Structure 1
Amino acid sequence: MIGIGLLVIRVVIGLSFVGHGAQKLFGWFGGHGLKGTGGWFDSIGMKPGVTMALFAGLSELIGGALFALGLLTPFAGILIALTMLVAIVKVHGANGYWA
């Protein structure tokens, strides 16, 4: 039963990150794509914005997919954690959790 619970958690979290990465990269699920996200990254001081958006989107997409599939989970976790650490420092640190 524990194995099923961990599978559900891994799939839900992994696919959430895949979707979040797809927003940044492709504009799917209401996202702004690379140019829009890159412009926002520029506005918060993450330059060059499009390059940083590409790195963030790829980290979320690849990390989420690997995590959901249970492949290279330590690497997937590092990709996800590093992306979220930057989000905490650059966005949520100053604006709070719900920013």
Structure 2
Amino acid sequence: MADIGLLIIRLVIGLTFVGHGAQKLFGWFGGTGISKTGEWLESIGIKPGGTIWAILAGLFELVGGLLFAAGVFTPIGAGLIVIIMIDAILSVHGRNGYWLTNNGFEYNFVLIAVVVGVAMIGPGEYVLFQNL
């Protein structure tokens, strides 16, 4: 049952990050795509090169989510997700305090804890490729 639990956690969180990356990179799932995401990043003070940061954020989310969901190089996937969540805390949510009700970093912090925990435990038995 633990392996099924790890699979559920990896799929839900990993595929959610894949979706977020696709929103930024391709404008899928109601996303804004690279140029609009870059404009937004510059509007919150991430200058210069909002477009480059949008691409990097999208790639970290997409690749990190794929690795995490597949259980392949799980610590690397988790690391990419942690970097994005720390960035979200530092650039957007941290100044609002902890609680999500105030647009705080509560949710980012929970995601960091989950992906680090899974990376430390291991991906479980149900992975795309064994021994990676």
TM-score range normalised by the length of the shorter chain:
over 0.9
Q: What is the match of residue 25 of structure 1? A: 25
Provide the rounded CA distance (Å) in 1 between the counterparts of 2:95 and 2:69: 31
Find the residue that maps to 2:46 and give its secondary structure: coil
Percent same amino acid at aligned positions?
60
> TM-score scaled by structure 2?
0.72
Q: Deviations over 1:37-93 (max 9, x none)?
A: 000001111121000000000000000001000000011010000011000110011
The residue type paired with residue 52 of structure 1 is: W
Deviation at 1:27, TM superposition (A): 0.5
Provide the rounded CA distance (Å) in 2 between the counterparts of 1:89 and 1:4: 34
Provide the rounded CA distance (Å) in 1 between the counterparts of 2:57 and 2:21: 7
Q: What is the match of residue 6 of structure 2? A: 6
Q: What is the match of residue 72 of structure 2? A: 71
Q: What is the match of residue 57 of structure 1? A: 58
Q: What is the match of residue 84 of structure 1? A: 85
The residue type paired with residue 81 of structure 1 is: V
The RMSD of aligned alpha carbons is 1.0
Task: Give the helix-richer structure, 1 or 2.
Answer: 1
The residue type paired with residue 4 of structure 1 is: I
Q: Deviations over 1:6-27 (max 9, x none)?
A: 1010011000000000000000
Provide the rounded CA distance (Å) in 2 between the counterparts of 1:43 and 1:93: 17
Provide the rounded CA distance (Å) in 2 between the counterparts of 1:44 and 1:51: 15
Q: Which runs of 5+ in 1 are unaligned?
A: none
Higher-Rg member (1/2) = 2
Regions of 4+ moved over 6 Å: none
Q: Which runs of 5+ in 2 are unaligned?
A: 104-132
Pairs aligned (count): 99
